[in-house]
């Protein structure tokens, strides 16, 4: 175990740990977790060896972890060789072998040293590191402003739909649930930042607290709820076009079950899976294969929404051309259809593109789309379904006119009373 102080391995580990603390991106965290897993496996072997080996056992070198590789127990006079760590984007692919001999005094130094045998990928200069730090700070400011704007717009939209009785209907109830899912998403991201990044002295790559895992689970639930309430919007539009004369209130509980229930079941399965098989870190390592427990239902929702998109487009063309449909119904179809048909591809395309590529591909573009542009999605939804809704605008104007007439009447009455007095 004294080998951990050797310059060749220690300097290499220092290089590997600089990136995650500065950049704090998930691919970098996966590098730290990679070495943590290798170290845990090696320490487990060391503990097993110490329990089974008798005091007067065979002389030789015990299993040792040097910060990069695990060296198994060997008798004196034998050597062992390892390859460079298989960490993409840190080490260039190399067939070089690092040897160590077991001597009378213990393991010999690695030959050749890691820094010669395992060539590192180009590491940015300190200026580049500072530029990246500034880039991430700017991005955090942008998406914090975006989520704050979205939250304000969504609360206002929910207040409008709730206050005006004429706007109480199944369609607007679904919109309110959709808005609520975006409120949860914005709140979840801000809570996650507060939990993971409030203390700069803590490396979030190695954080593994109940609080941080709960915050990540909350984020995943809100994202799932987003996509499934968008699916409900598409399903409702299709039902409206298919069943013109059927009461849509009979379906509202099914919509609620899909929009909130399916994400809850999915997240519970994901949490149970992580607790059982991969309870490491803060559960934000997107390279984990268990992310497909979250990804697969989202991709399924996007695929079904795409089919609905095609079917609704076909049905809408038929409805618009039909002489049996009144002008008011055509306007109702067009209002809801324009908003929903815009959101389905807008919210789905980028997720499909990034879900099918490895996590290290296009990190900057991924962060920009998912954090910065994604933070304004709630504002866009409130704009399309509420603020630009002709029915909402007409109701606000009508109530504003009533309020003005009431105020004018009150002023006239007060003036009359003063005059008669």
Residue 353 pLDDT grade (very low, low, confident, very high; cuts 50, 70, 90): low
pLDDT of residue 274: 93
d(CA 416, CA 223): 59
364 against 67, higher pLDDT: 67
Q: Which of 95-99, 197-201, 350-354 comes out lowest in average pLDDT?
A: 350-354
d(CA 355, CA 373): 17
Position 264 pLDDT exceeds 90 = yes
pLDDT of residue 221: 96
Burial 205-221, CB ≥16 within 10 A → b, else e: bbbeeeebbbbbbbbbb
Position 21 pLDDT exceeds 60 = no
Q: Which of 66-75, 104-113, 207-216, 281-290 comes out lowest in average pLDDT?
A: 281-290
Position 318 pLDDT exceeds 50 = yes
CB atoms within 10 A of CB 226: 24
pLDDT of residue 14: 32
Give residue-wise pLDDT tens across range 375-389. Answer: 888 898 899 888 888
β-bridge partners, 70: 65
For residue 161, give every residue at least 6 positions away whose Cβ sits within 8 Å of its Cβ, in sequence order, or none. Answer: 167, 168, 172, 175, 176, 386, 392
pLDDT of residue 126: 47
Position 46 pLDDT exceeds 60 = yes
Torsion angle (degrees, nearest 10) of CA 146, 148, 151, 156 = -110
β-bridge partners, 98: 82
315 against 330, higher pLDDT: 315
pLDDT of residue 389: 83
β-bridge partners, 79: 101
The answer to whether the CB of 204 falls within 8 A of the CB of 24 is: yes
Average pLDDT over residues 180-187: 92
Q: Please name each of the domains of the chain with its CATH number.
A: 27-117 (4.10.1240.10), 140-388 (1.20.1070.10)
pLDDT of residue 255: 92
In the chain, the percentage of residues whose pLDDT exceeds 90 is 22
168 against 361, higher pLDDT: 168
What is the residue-averaged pLDDT of the chain? 77
User: Do you know the residue count of the chain?
Assistant: 421
| Residue 30: burial class (beta carbons within 10 Å; 0-12, 13-18, 19+) | buried
pLDDT of residue 158: 95
Position 201 pLDDT exceeds 60 = yes
pLDDT of residue 115: 79
The answer to whether the CB of 259 falls within 8 A of the CB of 229 is: yes
Write the DSSP assignment of 236-255 as a string of letters: HHHHHHH-TTS-GGGGHHHH
119 against 359, higher pLDDT: 119
Q: Where are the extended beta strands (E) located within 211-352?
A: none
pLDDT of residue 72: 92
**Residue 65, both tokens:** 């972890």
pLDDT of residue 11: 34
Position 167 pLDDT exceeds 90 = no
The answer to whether the CB of 96 falls within 8 A of the CB of 129 is: no
- Is cis: bond before 112, omega within 30 of 0? yes
pLDDT of residue 156: 95
The answer to whether the CB of 211 falls within 8 A of the CB of 196 is: no
The answer to whether the CB of 241 falls within 8 A of the CB of 312 is: yes
pLDDT of residue 248: 59
Cα atoms found within 13 Å of the Cα of residue 96, Cβ hemisphere only: 17
Position 236 pLDDT exceeds 80 = yes
pLDDT of residue 348: 65
Q: Which of 4-8, 90-94, 163-167, 354-358 comes out lowest in average pLDDT?
A: 4-8
97: three-class secondary structure by DSSP: strand
| Residue 379: burial class (beta carbons within 10 Å; 0-12, 13-18, 19+) | buried
Only one residue has tokens 């399903």, namely 235
d(CA 393, CA 38): 61
pLDDT of residue 220: 94
d(CA 25, CA 272): 25
């Amino acid at each position: 175990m004294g080998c951990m102080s050797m310059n060749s391995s220690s300097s290499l580990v220092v290089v590997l740990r600089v990136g995650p603390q500065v950049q704090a991106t998930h691919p970098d965290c996966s590098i730290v977790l990679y070495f943590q897993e290798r170290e845990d496996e090696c320490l487990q072997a060391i503990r097993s060896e110490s329990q089974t080996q008798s005091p007067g056992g065979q002389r030789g070198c015990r299993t040792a972890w040097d910060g990069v590789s695990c060296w198994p127990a060997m008798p004196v006079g034998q050597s062992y060789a390892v390859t460079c760590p298989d960490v993409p984007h840190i080490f260039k692919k190399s067939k070089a072998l690092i040897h160590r001999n077991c001597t009378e005094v213990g393991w010999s130094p690695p030959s050749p040293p890691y820094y010669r045998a395992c060539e590192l990928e180009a590491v940015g200069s300190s200026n580049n590191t500072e530029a990246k730090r500034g880039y991430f700070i700017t991005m955090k400011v942008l998406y914090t402003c975006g989520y704050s704007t979205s939250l304000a717009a969504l609360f206002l939209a929910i207040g409008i739909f709730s206050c005006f009785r004429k706007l109480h209907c199944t369609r607007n109830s679904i919109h309110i649930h959709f808005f609520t899912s975006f409120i949860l998403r914005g709140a979840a991201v801000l809570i996650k930042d507060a939990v993971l990044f409030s203390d700069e002295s803590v490396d979030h790559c190695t954080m593994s607290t109940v609080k941080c895992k709960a915050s990540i689970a909350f984020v995943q639930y809100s994202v799932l709820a987003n996509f499934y309430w968008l699916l409900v919007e598409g399903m409702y539009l299709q039902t409206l076009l298919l069943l013109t004369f059927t009461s849509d209130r009979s379906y509202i509980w099914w919509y609620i079950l899909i929009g909130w229930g399916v994400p809850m079941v999915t997240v519970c399965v994901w949490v149970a899976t992580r607790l059982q098989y991969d309870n490491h870190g803060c559960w934000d390592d997107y390279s984990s294969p268990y992310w497909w427990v979250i990804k697969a239902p989202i991709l399924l929702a996007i695929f079904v929404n795409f089919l609905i998109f095609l079917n609704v487009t076909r049905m809408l063309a038929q409805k618009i051309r039909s002489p049996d449909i009144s002008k008011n119904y055509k306007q109702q179809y067009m209002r809801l259809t324009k908003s929903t048909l815009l959101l389905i591809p807008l919210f789905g395309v980028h997720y499909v593109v990034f879900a099918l590529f490895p996590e290290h591909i296009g990190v900057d573009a991924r962060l920009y789309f998912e954090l910065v542009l994604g933070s304004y999605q709630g504002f866009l939804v409130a704009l399309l379904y509420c603020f630009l809704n002709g029915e909402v605008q007409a109701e606000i104007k009508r109530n504003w006119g009533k309020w003005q007439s009431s105020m004018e009447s009150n002023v006239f009455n007060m003036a009359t009373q003063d005059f008669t007095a």
